[in-house]
Structure 1
């Protein structure tokens, strides 16, 4: 007997398309979550590098530079800023002129000294140090701060090393006029992080080749704009807030950094006068 032929009846599975769409959506969300985690880890590593590693590296380098300066002073006679030997041109050539460094805007750079009508940059020895070269040691006992001072405020060559940078065109330590310095408040050694803790009467000392100059903090300008060039003038006075500053010639020190912390929106300024 021939068995009856049965028609093939297809089986329809309901909901398989919906589950497929859900699985696809879950995969996309999972990939997005993995990407977000990866980006977060990368950002975290960058923050750790910027905040922790640059501080550690710059602080160590600054301490070593202070030791090197002091060793050099012990081996050489005292007498202020050392004279700088000028390079001799080769026969038949003209000496190459080097342009002055332009003040660079950044986290810790305050007004440009070149625009402030600042006084001469030569020190007690009558010669200015080489650009980007360290030549002095700044000490602030209240803050436990000991850092090198270098000529210029170039971000990469000076400030990012954890040094205090001397504004070109302003006076040198111990000289009449305004000895103006800039430094980072956050990252790269952050030497001026706690500048806001200084009070009137605190001492700021600057050692230069066996000579020590002591300044006494007199005024603090909590906040001003980065274009307030008056703060680094020979007789420092804010042009934004003229109630802050001085009116008579003298020997001043100016310390500038950014404020609030982790921003470069405004500048914090501390002034002192030379202790006679």
Structure 2
């Protein structure tokens, strides 16, 4: 049996925290490695447009939702707004470090705009799928310190804070999807969500590959050798994609729910270490 909704004692807490204001970081801020840096930069440059799309897709159904899901959606939206703000600031630092980012940001906004033309139910299913992506990556970042070990301290704190909150709200879009599709048969609902996940996966990696090409070209290293190095980084050491492979496949199981894997202890442990209250905005 799987939980039909988030845990009854779940708290989704929007934390109004700022990171790295007035600071700069090296061009290759992740361990001095342009390849690892490009991977994380490609993610960050996609976040503002992507998170805006997620919020709009879920809030479309806000007035239909019962409590406590309606309140969870509101908290989810507030968390995502803070994430977008902080990654806009981080992306400005990426630009200031010498990367031309405007084209990549514009392409991601266009990706989100095209997606909004889809049916609301498809956008909601895509958001549930991609929120599973962010939750998988978030867990891996927090569980394996190697992922962020080479980042400057304040950059590491930014990504850890983001990961903590992605874990907290990882079931909101999925529970909204379950509620909105409650009249579908179990098979139709399962088939709908896994087909959308398959398409969302293809789109996600097509778009990240495009953005990685644009970043690597600026360092004159968009070569087969670099892409082999990226594959080793992603699959072997530290191996983010290897670590999330089984959690990704779990989404395709009938009866899947994000909170089958309750990783709040991990998120809470990292949150305590960050001492976020000391960094909160006035």
Q: Under a length normalisation based on structure 1, what TM-score does the superposition of the two structures give? A: 0.23
- Structure with the larger strand share: 1
Query: Given the two structures, how large is their TM-score scaled by the length of structure 2?
Result: 0.23
Structure of larger gyration radius: 1
Higher helix share: 2
